[in-house]
Structure 1
């Protein structure tokens, strides 16, 4: 029984790391740091996206309930929400395009659509920042772990050749530390891939929500444009 305990202790994750070759250690440390970075991105982006979705729903509900868009803009235009940026871009363009005596209705509609679409794209680019890190870790980490595995197995074969002994006791530590590198690679990659898909899906839903708001607000401003031109203001 003491022999088994000693062997189990030697095969513990900490001992596997300490006994590993410097190259395998570097691989393991790199993958562990990537995993920590991945989880930090997952938590911060998940919380942020949840808060933005909640704030967007409340903002849109309040916006369509108001009777004075200018007053709403003065009060809520500085909100740190993507939908507020879309609204601000639209109203800024509206004021620029309608301050002249002769209003170009077709041109105004085009510019409004362009500004709001650009605002949606800008906000989504800002929110998707660092998600490419998740994609990179998810695709690269298994291969980095595999590199550590191949290196460790090569060392095991070298140990066999040097000791002229093919017993399991000789090759087991090297193979174990090699496979441990692959395990760490998968530990880093799997959550990164899952989180990337989930967060990307969440951003796609937010984009659809912002696009619907932009289309609806564009229609509202288009109707207002007809009134402005008809009354000569």
Structure 2
């Protein structure tokens, strides 16, 4: 028995899948697909972790500011502080106060028109704060919808390559096509790995953004009601 025959006879077949080896053995097209999906997955997790930290921080700031606002003797002075400038609820209140100041700067002013403009100013600021919070969530939606199809493209290409090997080697043995099919299916698995967390996070974060937006809207409504009462008493 030659040394090569001996090595072939004594070689131990792999007992489990090795993702790294599957990547190394894959066709160049499948490798590009896998790299793209891995990069998308890493970026998705960066957005997920960043959003979780940011949303928690904004919720704390909003809650603290709103508590201070209703208990402060001079809310306008509180709004102008440096701490309040980084708080979404403070910017909502500031938008209303700024509009009130502009609308009442003349000798005469229309109370109903002022009320309407103040409400619109705060509603517009609430929408702007929500858009700012949800700025990068579209990437999660895109990854969740596109990644499975990108992985499927890698799978189709890999299977096509396996059939080409059958034709070139004139051998339809499972041992010939199995490695290529494994590499191909690995692309679909990576696509799902990138897509599933992105979809779950996107749906959950949309709910979070809606909750924060609703909270700011309720705060804006209370501020508007307070301004309206003060205008009636003026």
The TM-score with structure 1 as length reference comes to 0.93
Q: Which residue of 2 aligns with 1:31?
A: 37
In structure 2, the partner of 1:7 is 14
Q: Counterpart in 2 of 1:167?
A: 173
In structure 2, the residue matched to 1:94 is 100
For structure 2, list consecutive stretches of 5 or more residues without a partner in the other structure: 1-8
Q: Where in structure 2 are the equivalents of 1:20-169 lying within 5 Å?
A: 20-75=26-81, 78-169=84-175
Given that 2:65 and 2:84 are in contact with CA atoms closer than 8 Å, whether structure 1 keeps it comes out as: no
CA contact (8 A) 1:76 1:84 kept: no
Q: 1:200 aligns with which of 201, 206, 223?
A: 206
- Alpha-carbon distance, 1:67 to partner: 2.4
**Residue 79 (structure 1) shift:** 2.7
Cα 1:135–1:2 change in 2 (3 A) is: farther
| 2:6 equivalent in structure 1 | none
Q: Which residue of 2 aligns with 1:231?
A: none
Residues 116 and 77 (structure 1), Cα distance of their counterparts in 2 relative to 1, 3 Å cut: farther
Structure 1, gaps ≥5 residues long = 229-233
Helix, strand or coil: the match of 2:85? coil
2-side partners of 1:149 and 1:69: how far apart? 61
SS state of the match for residue 75, structure 1? coil
